[in-house]
Amino acid sequence: MSSKSCGSSLLIALPDDVFSIISRSLSPRDVCSLSLCCKILYELVSSEKIWFTQCDMIGVLTGRDLVEWRQGVSSYKALCRFLLSLAPLIGIWVHQNPELGNVVYVMPGFVSVVGCRVIPQELGPLGIEDGPILWAPVFEIIGDFDGSTIFFLHGRDKGYDCLYPGLLKSVDRDCNVLWLEVEPGQQRNGCESLHSESSEHYSDKEISRRFCRSSGELSRSDQVSEQSETVVPFSRLAFSDRRMLLEKVTGQVCLQVPDSASGPLFPRLRDDVQNFQKDILLLSERRSLLLKMCEFSVDCNDIGKADCEMPANSTQLKLREFRMNLDCSTGCYHPLNGDDSHTQISKRKTIGGYIRGSLKQILGWSSSNNSSHATRSIFKSSSSNGEKRYAQLNEFLKTAYTIGLTLRASRMKLSSYRGWPNMPETRFALYKLPILVPKADQEYAGLWGGTFGWPPGKPSEDKPGKALFFLLLSYEESEGQRLLIATKILEGTHYVLHPNGSPMFIVNIDEPAQEQFPWNIDANSNPVNIKHAFVGEGIANGYGFRYPGAKPGSLFVIQNGILAFIWKETKSVLTLQRINLQELLKKGERVPPLPPVANFSYLTKSYSNVYAGFSNTSTCFTSPRMADT
């Protein structure tokens, strides 16, 4: 097809810079669709300038960062593929337990994204902006040369920092739940299928095809194929089975971090030019090492199909070996061939197996042909869907050839209360918090950090340490009133005072306050200028930990961007300032992580600081408690 007949002559005549500007009105899918029209247009849209523009439009990186990341991939098209697939992960993720921690911020690293847990802590003498924020690595996703991905869970085992490789599953554009799971892989034509694009390498044409088909997400057909091949989803297993599988798999894929890979996970701020360049060099070397650690150990195309006995990827375990280790550690046998008689005999050898077998007989789940039909009917009538609540482990594994760790980001319908999602407490998952962008009628929306006391941000002589709070400010309309709600997502105390998701204060931004601000000067002896004041109420001791009360107060907006909420009776003051969490982490101090599964989402109910052992010696995690609030 000639360029004239396909209408491309006008586009071809344009300079690259002009066409690059025009391409800003196109999505990556549109650009790839254009490349499929004819050979001449394919060459035109393969320009590095075009794909640099597409990378820039994603908004994850600055132009200077894009140039540096380009050194680690084959092209800007490959980089665009990586950024587009992982952009939905950038942001703040939380879990309900423990009440003090589980705030994970996902941010760019170097041709990677990194999940960092903010450790509950007190402020040092330099305050929020200049004091080191403690954080621990949770996971990272590294981009390969072609823009595909490799997932690493971070954790600690026997006193050493470790990495636990796995596969990144589908990432929905509007994802709000991040799942840590174990997934079995099937065998195709004598070699295993790993259910993931992360172990494949694609040409530019294949990347274009997948862009066109899915607009940056994993293809729908691949997802449907994956779902059909996985007979029993991980989520249908009982909590004890899910936890056991995660712990066993991570225990067997564990890689102790070598000294050469113990460098930074992201560079420091660009203001520190010399150290920034050193960090980029270290990050590049570390990334290359990690990619080599996860290279294919066996190529199934080079050996006979009948001899393809090993997983082709180091993130996958051969199921036979995994089951042998599982049987040795648990004393249980889970058949893959559906031999129910053997199942009953082996399970009765343990107390747990005996109880499970007895319950099955009582509820009508026995494999015996003489099972009572009446008992089955009674159970079905008491069940909401007429099926067993949980799937059996042998059902989950029976079609598998390999098994491995996976990370999946999906969209789930979640209810919320005042900006805090209502989340299941027994899922190994993190939930994304929607961060509103400040605008004219919602200028205080976003993430704020603060402490109790005045002046703000810095400890006083009588109280050398002040607990750090992170609050998410959002807007809501109720009964014709516009409310500003400050939801607590992190509390740096030794023992939590109020649950995560609690509104620390709620104010009516349409009702001015008449109270006067009690202080005339700030920490630098400058006069305090109050711009606005609103009537509201702040959290107080109520009917227990889960049902706190509220007492009257006022929110003051100070001229230098500081917010101060003051309780009317006690005169206690909570001062806040807007924060850039990514910058704080880049200036922060890294501490060791928890064991791998707990490190992803700590599910144990805990109102005391489980991370206190990782603090520095100057941080004692004691908190000035408010007398009545």
How many Cβ atoms from other residues are within 10 Å of residue 512's Cβ? 11
Contacts 24+ apart (CB under 8 A), 396-399: 396/184, 396/231, 396/232, 396/234, 396/236, 396/237, 396/241, 397/184, 397/319, 397/323, 397/334, 397/336, 398/231, 398/336, 398/337, 398/338, 399/184, 399/186, 399/229, 399/231
Q: List, in order, residues 6 or more apart from 257 with CB less than 8 Å away.
A: 160, 161, 162, 163
pLDDT of residue 429: 95
Residue 49 lies in a domain: yes
pLDDT of residue 185: 74
Could you give the 3-state DSSP secondary structure of residue 477? strand
pLDDT of residue 225: 46
Give the pLDDT confidence of 549-573 residue by residue, as tens digits: 899 999 999 988 899 999 999 999 9
Residue 405 lies in a domain: no
Q: Is the pLDDT of residue 445 over 60?
A: yes
pLDDT of residue 328: 59
543: left (phi over 0), alpha (psi -120 to 50) or beta: alpha
Q: Is the pLDDT of residue 385 over 60?
A: no
What does the alpha-carbon distance between residue 351 and residue 360 come to, in Å, rounded to a whole number? 14
What average pLDDT does the chain have? 77
Give the pLDDT confidence of 273-282 residue by residue, as tens digits: 889 999 999 9
- Name the packing angle between helices 63-70 and 48-58 (round to 10°): 120
- CATH number of 39's domain: 1.20.1280
Handedness of CA 445, 449, 452, 458 (dihedral sign): negative
* 332: its two tokens: 């249980």
pLDDT of residue 207: 57
Question: The domain containing residue 546 runs over which residues?
Answer: 436-583+605-614
pLDDT of residue 359: 39
Residue 496 lies in a domain: yes
Residue 235 lies in a domain: no
Total number of domains in the chain: 2
* 255: its two tokens: 């890689």
Average pLDDT score over residue span 287-301: 65
pLDDT of residue 512: 93
For residues 306 and 231, which has the higher predicted lDDT (pLDDT)? 231
Read off the pLDDT band of 605 (50, 70, 90).
confident
Q: Is the pLDDT of residue 404 over 70?
A: yes
Residue 335 lies in a domain: no
What does the alpha-carbon distance between residue 123 and residue 129 come to, in Å, rounded to a whole number? 10
Residue 289 lies in a domain: no
pLDDT of residue 425: 81
Average pLDDT score over residue span 5-13: 61
pLDDT-wise least confident of 151-165, 207-221, 235-249: 207-221
For residues 387 and 75, which has the higher predicted lDDT (pLDDT)? 75
Q: Is the pLDDT of residue 377 over 80?
A: no
Q: Is the pLDDT of residue 158 over 80?
A: yes
How many Cβ atoms from other residues are within 10 Å of residue 113's Cβ? 23
Average pLDDT score over residue span 500-524: 90
Give the pLDDT confidence of 529-546 residue by residue, as tens digits: 999 999 999 999 877 777
Give the pLDDT confidence of 215-245 residue by residue, as tens digits: 444 444 444 444 445 468 899 999 999 999 9
Q: Are 232 and 334 in contact (CB under 8 A)?
A: no
What does the alpha-carbon distance between residue 554 and residue 514 come to, in Å, rounded to a whole number? 9
Which of 38, 56, 82 is the C-terminal boundary of a domain? Answer: 82
What does the alpha-carbon distance between residue 418 and residue 420 come to, in Å, rounded to a whole number? 6
pLDDT of residue 47: 81
Q: What global pTM score does this model have?
A: 0.80
**H/E stretch holding 203:** none
pLDDT of residue 258: 84
Give the pLDDT confidence of 30-58 residue by residue, as tens digits: 887 777 777 767 777 778 888 999 999 99
Residue 58 lies in a domain: yes
What does the alpha-carbon distance between residue 167 and residue 277 come to, in Å, rounded to a whole number? 30
Q: Is the pLDDT of residue 450 over 80?
A: yes
Read off the pLDDT band of 208 (50, 70, 90).
low
Q: Is the pLDDT of residue 307 over 50?
A: no
Residue 541 lies in a domain: yes
- Whole-angstrom CA distances from 365 to 341, 379, 397 are 13, 10, 19
Average pLDDT score over residue span 256-264: 85
pLDDT of residue 403: 85
Which of 21, 51, 82 is the C-terminal boundary of a domain? Answer: 82
Q: List, in order, residues 6 or more apart from 383 with CB less than 8 Å away.
A: 389
What is the residue-wise DSSP string for 308-367? --S-SSTTEEEHHHHHHHHHHHH-----SS--HHHHHHHHTTSHHHHHHHHHHHHHT--S
pLDDT of residue 440: 87
Which of 44, 66, 82 is the C-terminal boundary of a domain? Answer: 82
List residues bridging with 575 in a β-sheet.
451, 564
